[in-house]
Amino acid sequence: MVTLAQLQLIAKPTRAQKLFTYLKNKNTGGSNNAKGNRFETYFIAFKIATYWEEDPDQTLFTAQELCFVDDLVVRLLNQPPEYYQIKDVKSISWKGGTHPLEHDFKCQLNLYKKQTKPRMFLVVSSQTLAKRLRKEASLTLRSSVNILHFPAADSINRLLQINQHFRKCIEGLCALTNPRIDKLEMIAATIIGFWQSSGSSNIPLRLIRDHCLLSSPHYFKGGANYLSGPLDALLNSIIGLTFTISNGTLQWAYNGTDAGTLSFKIGSAEFVQFENDILQFPAGVSFATIEHLLT
């Protein structure tokens, strides 16, 4: 989020105040528009699916952040932040309007003068428009802004049919082999449903993944590389217990004297029941108390 103090580092006080007022007005308008913006929501779901295997606690998603390039901000561990402006329009230019696109991207870039430059993206629904914007971009923008084409669609089903990148990402989350399109549609809808109810501000990837696994455990890949936050914390609190995850299954060992592997995969109905049962116990529970659940 951009603060007035940050703006005062790159502009004189009066100019900084005007920019800050502009940002607040832009943020209010953007938040209202985003509520019904199907194109923007579908693209955000695509990015969530793209980063599904990133660090679940250090990967954060924010929509309509108080900044110049504000439709989506993605923060990743040990990487510069990513800023996305998302436009489902037939035509737009870099210099047109009261506050041109060029102005917003350059202002966002100026905030990082003494830091690693952020990655900035302009996403449009027209391939022809994307090509024209690349051609007309100034030298500064050409080196700083990636212009992406993401096709618009009136439904998730239609988007899965026309956008193979989107479909491939969603298929990568699916536990089924050769899934039908209705199953992929359900997976995308689950992500979108959570995102729309989340508040969309600094939402960690773990929250999204946990929700999806709990609501549709048979369709999402069973958390092949991670456990839910509460389960991970509880198992780590048991003295003497260590565990690893291999090929979607939980393997455990206790004080070098006992070990085992759960017979069901993470995300299965059996695993959901296991998680429900073991989370009835408090942190620091003894191994002897929960051993029957592991064997």
Distance CA 32, CA 49 (A): 25
pLDDT of 36 above 50: no
Distance CA 281, CA 285 (A): 7
* Residue range 38-96, pLDDT digits in tens: 999 999 999 999 999 898 889 999 998 888 998 999 999 889 999 999 999 999 999 98
Name the token pair of 51: 């980063």
Expressed as residue numbers, the domain containing 234 is 229-294
- Measured in degrees and rounded to the nearest 5, phi and psi for residue 73 equal -125, 125
Domain assignment present for 69: yes
Q: How far is CA 177 from CA 61, 90, 159, 173, in A?
A: 29, 38, 20, 11
236 and 184 in a single domain? The answer is: no
For residue 223, name the pLDDT band (cuts at 50, 70, 90).
low
21 and 122 in a single domain? The answer is: yes
* Residue range 120-166, pLDDT digits in tens: 999 999 999 999 999 999 998 999 999 999 999 999 999 999 999 99
Name the token pair of 198: 């989340």
pLDDT of 35 above 60: no
Radius of gyration of the chain (CA): 23
**Quick check: helix, strand or coil at residue 195?**
helix
In whole numbers, what is the pLDDT of the chain averaged over residues? 87
Q: What's the pTM?
A: 0.72
Domain count along the chain = 2
Domain assignment present for 42: yes
Q: How big is the CA angle at 219 (ends 216 and 223), to the nearest 5 degrees?
A: 80
204 torsion bin: left (phi>0), alpha (psi -120 to 50), beta (else): beta
Residue 120: closest CA among 73, 88, 64, 60: 73
Domain assignment present for 221: no
Distance CA 59, CA 154 (A): 29
pLDDT of 22 above 80: no
Q: What contacts 165, CB < 8 A, 6 or more positions away?
A: 46
Last residue of a domain, one of 181, 214, 247: 214
Averaged over 228-249, what is the pLDDT? 90
78 and 110 in a single domain? The answer is: yes
Averaged over 204-219, what is the pLDDT? 84
| DSSP label at residue 147 | E
265 and 197 in a single domain? The answer is: no
28 and 145 in a single domain? The answer is: yes
The better pLDDT of the pair 151, 1 is held by 151
Distance CA 38, CA 153 (A): 8
Q: Residues 80, 70: contact at Cβ < 8 Å?
A: no
Domain assignment present for 51: yes
171 and 27 in a single domain? The answer is: yes
In the Cβ-directed half-sphere of 108, how many Cα atoms lie within 13 Å? Answer: 31
81 and 170 in a single domain? The answer is: yes
pLDDT of 7 above 90: no
Domain assignment present for 151: yes
Q: How far is CA 151 from CA 124, 154, 163, 208, in A?
A: 8, 10, 7, 24
Domain assignment present for 57: yes
96 and 134 in a single domain? The answer is: yes
166 and 246 in a single domain? The answer is: no
Last residue of a domain, one of 214, 247, 274: 214
Q: What confidence score (pLDDT) does residue 2 get?
A: 67
Domain assignment present for 208: yes
Classify the C-alpha dihedral 245-249-255-259 as positive or negative.
Answer: negative
Averaged over 201-228, what is the pLDDT? 80
Last residue of a domain, one of 214, 248, 267: 214
Q: What confidence score (pLDDT) does residue 32 get?
A: 42
Q: What confidence score (pLDDT) does residue 21 get?
A: 76
